[in-house]
Amino acid sequence: MLRTALRNVLAHKARLIMTALAVLLGVAFVSGTLVFGDTTANAFRKAAVASLKGVAVSVQSLDAGGGERAAGLDGPATPGAKPASALDTALVHKIGALPGVAAVRPTVDGRATVAGKDGLPVNTDKGRPSLATNYLPGKDSRTSLKEGRGPAAEGELALDAQTAEKGGYRIGDNVRFAIDGPALTKKLVGIVTTDDPRVNAGASLTLFDTGTAQKLFLRPGQFHEIAVVAKSGTDAGELTDRVRALLPAEGAEATSGEDLAAEQSAGVAEATGSLTKALLGFAGIALFIGAFIIANTFTMLIAQRSREIALMRAVGASRRQVVRSVLVEATLLGLGASVAGFVLGLGIATALRPLINLTGAGLPAGPLVISPMAFAGSIVVGVVITVLAAWLPSRKAAKIAPVAALSSTDQAPPARALIVRHVVGILLTGAGMLVMLYVSTLRNTLQSSLMIAMLGSALTLLGLIVLAPLLSRPLIALAGKVTSRLFGVTGKLAKENALRNPRRTAATASALMIGLALVTGLTVVGKSAQSALVAEANQGMTADYNVSNSTPAGLDPSAATRIARLPGVAAAVPTTTALLDTNHGLVSVTGTDPTTYGKTAKLDFRSGSLRDIGPGKIAVSDEFAAKAGIEVGSTLKAGSLDGSEPQRKKKLTVVGVYAKTPTTDKALGTLTDVLPYSDTHKLENVLVKVEPGKTDGLERKIRAALGDSPLMEVQSHEQVINDGGGGVNMVLKMMYGLLGMAVLISVLGVVNTLAMSVFERTREIGMLRAIGLDRTGIKQMVRLESVVISVFGAVLGIGTGIFLAWAGSTMASSSLTLYETVLPWGDLAVLLGLALLIGVLAAIWPARRAARLNMLQSIQSS
């Protein structure tokens, strides 16, 4: 039986190649994901090790501002705050004098946004950070000089190579940058390279001498961190204890280099693990679809070899031997395809990093890491999936009676089996739809709700897969009427061929259905979310420009006045926001100039008006008024969140109620009432209304009026709207790319089914040729059959995707108040057109094969 299995694999290479491709692609995604995860984790670890090279102890300030820590380059959360640090020059000297200390490396970290020679910020797109630190000559393992020298005076700086290139700077140029206010200028004296993954992924790095860095980000003589390098043979634990003994009681902590490396490794494992799991989910979808193709292929192969298997049974082969023969065949196929898939996965792993970095993820580069676990896991997954998919066909093969060797016709499946399948399909589909209808009542995005939605989606899809043979008859019959009317006899033959074996047709269409259902659901949700974000950015806002600061530092209160003086500006309206503690709970209040706010924002007042707002008088949204039970004439007692400065507590009288809008908070008051309670005591935005026809060059003028700082963000109304939906577009493109693998496997399924169907109908095709159907007619018949199957899968998939997206819409509306299910008819038409194209392309090879069959030989085949 083993020799028989080997012979079958070698004898049917052409028939099994498409199945092998399905396994290959699915395993490639799995292996690529596993290798990508190991490679990314290793790259992060190497970057961390490089930053900790030689560091035995790290002393960090606990009260000088924090920030994300990666590869040793940190930034305070609020660059302009200039907090005090417990780490000072005296402590550096004390630590340096300890026994066993070879060197100390005190660092200051912050953020500095660099402007290019064109005046626009460099590397601020996609949320990439603008890092800054001090340069330590001869001590700094974090960077290496590429050109020039390190900064040594207050008027000098160095840049990383990518930022210098993007900004158009060379050694000796004056570089404009900003910390938290007006632009500063310093001379570029050096260009460096670094192993920091964020910088290599697009972030900028600016280096200053230590004294300048302290003035910019901290206070003179103070540091954020002190890295301690030990002498050879020094015990790191003992040295850590000595360092801790020198630290003040509060405000600083010492961590051994080993502990710090362990913390960073744990963080790397957690970050890369989540990403790997998400990618493995897409790989699972691809393998799930591949399982349909495998099962379909083996079912068809067994149907074609029924006489052969019956003869084997007649000469003494047992049922177990027949099952083992098919499973061995599947194992050999899965093993060969899995090995090839693993090799292809290495290419996928290489391509994933730049693809994901398009979203601004900042993943580091590094050599591929191929672990034995990744190789073994990929092979096992591929073989197991193939064997499981072939198990049911193998059992069917074992049930073939020896007497079947005398028959040349296929046996139809028992009616009872079809009835059981239909009942199970109806129950699964009904259960899934009931769960999704329950999901449609949920108004949160808790993990439990998401799990319920995933369960409902899986049940619905699984039910439709089981029910597909029953659904195929009316839908394909309907499509057949169109093909028969348009293409005559060949169209009718295509319909009959598709209906001849509903199970096979359904299995083929189901693979395409799953892929298109996921793509459709993703498209509907993505476009709906994009529409909601655009609506929120657009609703109630009529300003032509929105001026803000890219840091939390805000804008100077005089910014609106300076912009208002520019020629062509009709109004410049200052706004800020504060969270007040009131007798009705925490209330977010927008502060502005009520006399001009109406020129840049549109509010629908239920009672009162903007003119009624003044010192001590506010308007509130109708939603907040209803929840708090207040109305015009009510009073809010407002104070700061921590209860400090009781002299600032005041009574705010409600003088108006307006319809809720995303652009205005729960309450609207004057700038003088709200500004003292804001976090920065500065403006958050200036809304600019421009006189008709005066927009040319105004952005540059606004920047110049506010000091031409690189931190300044001047966005037109169109840019604000585009930013609202731009992030969704990027995510959609990446998800489409990942789901593309599943759709490609679906295409292979259609090709596979058609090719094997042509082989089954060799004699029939010969008869059709004998009675007058020419080669062109044969090709057209196969193409139309392919199109009918593809359209059936597309209609089922698109309809299912729309239903699942609609059912989950209430969950999305919990975070997007204006979210409504939007059917992107253009995109849906493209998906339907894609299905038609898939049908045509998938039929190219099978149609050519059918048309080239020899007429006489085909008629004589059995």
pLDDT tens, residue by residue, 546-572: 898 877 778 888 899 999 999 999 999
Q: Which residue has the higher pLDDT, 300 or 334?
A: 334
Would you place residue 404 in the very low, low, confident or very high pLDDT band (cuts 50, 70, 90)?
Answer: low
Task: Please report where in the chains the tokens 């008051």 appear, as a residue.
Answer: 669
Q: In the prediction, which pLDDT does 292 show? A: 72
What global pTM score does this model have? 0.71
Q: Is 403 left (phi over 0), alpha (psi -120 to 50) or beta?
A: alpha
Measure the CA–CA gap between 543 and 571, rounded to whole angstroms.
Answer: 9
Measure the CA–CA gap between 375 and 368, rounded to whole angstroms.
Answer: 13
* Contact between 58 and 257 (Cβ < 8 Å): yes
- 132 has pLDDT over 90: yes
3-state secondary structure of 108: coil
> Which of 39-48, 158-167, 525-534, 666-675 is the least confident region?
39-48
Q: What is the pLDDT of residues 232-283, one digit of tens each?
A: 888 888 888 999 999 888 888 988 877 877 776 676 667 667 767 777 777 7
Mean pLDDT of 426-440: 93
Domains of the chain, residue spans: 1-52+256-411, 63-250, 556-705
Q: What is the pLDDT of residues 17-39, one digit of tens each?
A: 767 777 887 788 788 888 888 88
In our burial notation (b when 16+ CB lie closer than 10 A, e otherwise), range 746-758 reads bbbbbbbbbbbbb
Taking Cα atoms as reference points, which of 843, 841, 849 lies closest to residue 775?
Answer: 849
- Longest CA–CA span in the chain (Å) reads 104
Percent of the chain with pLDDT over 90: 23
Q: In the prediction, which pLDDT does 78 show? A: 42
3-state secondary structure of 569: strand
Measure the CA–CA gap between 844 and 167, rounded to whole angstroms.
Answer: 51
Measure the CA–CA gap between 10 and 4, rounded to whole angstroms.
Answer: 10
Measure the CA–CA gap between 814 and 590, rounded to whole angstroms.
Answer: 23
Kind of pairing between the strands at 156-160 and 184-194: parallel
3-state secondary structure of 73: strand
Q: In the prediction, which pLDDT does 68 show? A: 38
Both tokens of 298, joined, read 């083996």
* Contact between 658 and 664 (Cβ < 8 Å): yes
Measure the CA–CA gap between 498 and 754, rounded to whole angstroms.
Answer: 10
Q: In the prediction, which pLDDT does 658 show? A: 94
- 543 has pLDDT over 70: yes
Amino acid, single-letter form, for residue 477:
A
Q: Which residue has the higher pLDDT, 520 or 356?
A: 520
Both tokens of 569, joined, read 């500006």
- 200 has pLDDT over 60: yes
Measure the CA–CA gap between 559 and 683, rounded to whole angstroms.
Answer: 8
Would you place residue 169 in the very low, low, confident or very high pLDDT band (cuts 50, 70, 90)?
Answer: very high
Mean pLDDT of 339-361: 80
In our burial notation (b when 16+ CB lie closer than 10 A, e otherwise), range 780-814 reads bbbbbbbbbbbbbbbbbbbebbbbbbbbbbbbbbe
CA 75 to chain centre: 26
- 79 has pLDDT over 60: no
Mean pLDDT of 351-361: 71
Measure the CA–CA gap between 549 and 712, rounded to whole angstroms.
Answer: 5
Measure the CA–CA gap between 146 and 137, rounded to whole angstroms.
Answer: 14
Mean pLDDT of 399-421: 63
Q: What is the pLDDT of residues 614-655, one digit of tens each?
A: 999 999 999 999 998 999 999 888 887 555 544 457 889 999
Q: What is the pLDDT of residues 709-729, one digit of tens each?
A: 888 888 887 777 666 555 566
Own/partner contacts of 489-497, CB < 8 Å, gap of 24 or more, are: 489/773, 489/777, 490/773, 490/777, 490/780, 490/781, 490/784, 491/784, 493/768, 493/781, 494/781, 494/782, 494/783, 494/784, 494/785, 494/787, 494/788, 495/784, 495/788, 497/757, 497/761, 497/781, 497/785
- 303 has pLDDT over 80: no
Taking Cα atoms as reference points, which of 529, 429, 596, 504 lies closest to residue 730?
Answer: 529
Helix axes 717-760, 825-842, angle to 10 degrees: 30
DSSP class of residue 402 equals: G
Three-state SS sequence of 3-66: HHHHHHHHHCHHHHHHHHHHHHHHHHHHHHHHHHHHHHHHHHHHHHHHHCCCEEEEEEECCCCC
What average pLDDT does the structure give for the chain? Answer: 81
* Contact between 344 and 28 (Cβ < 8 Å): yes
Both tokens of 303, joined, read 């149907």
Q: In the prediction, which pLDDT does 643 show? A: 52
Measure the CA–CA gap between 173 and 190, rounded to whole angstroms.
Answer: 10
Q: In the prediction, which pLDDT does 725 show? A: 55
* Contact between 72 and 264 (Cβ < 8 Å): no
Taking Cα atoms as reference points, which of 582, 663, 678, 580 lies closest to residue 628?
Answer: 582
Mean pLDDT of 152-160: 94
